Amino acid sequence: MWSASTLRSATQNYEERHGLVKEKKPTTVEVVRQRLRKVINPLTGLNVVRTNLVHDIKVKDGTVRVLVDLPRDHQFAHNITDEILEKTESLWNVKGVVVEFTEQYNG
């Protein structure tokens, strides 16, 4: 069974992808951080923000950059990238999302 939070998030993503959002708030670092709190770190089962996997977030000219504290070849790097893209690409004024990785895991 899905939680109310999961359904709300899915509805919000759908509305954003299809231009149905009535209140268009600018995308900020805090907005992105809130979205990333819904991305789970498979190593711990907690979100990537809480577990400090998100090292840095930048938002500039419609591009979101997220630096993840894992090497690019880590077994979960692809899954985390997909989830980050899913949670952030649908924001109404985001033109692109770049997920970058550190060379070495510092956690």
pLDDT-derived band of residue 13, with 50, 70 and 90 as boundaries?
low
Task: Check pLDDT > 90 for residue 2.
Answer: no
pLDDT-derived band of residue 106, with 50, 70 and 90 as boundaries?
low
Report yes or no on 107 lying in a domain: no
Neighbours of 98 (CB within 10 A): 12
Element (H, E) at 56: strand 54-60
Report yes or no on 73 lying in a domain: yes
Check: CB of residue 59 under 8 Å from CB of residue 27: yes
Report yes or no on 13 lying in a domain: yes
Coil, strand or helix: which one is 30?
helix
Report yes or no on 8 lying in a domain: yes
Report yes or no on 106 lying in a domain: no
Report yes or no on 20 lying in a domain: yes
Instruction: State residue 25's pLDDT score.
Output: 84
Residue identified by tokens 């995308």 is 27
* Number of structural domains the chain divides into: 1
Q: Write out pLDDT tens, residues 23-32.
A: 778 999 999 9
Tokens of 31: 């907005």
Domain range for 73 is: 4-101
pTM of the model: 0.80
CATH of residue 92's domain is: 3.30.300.130
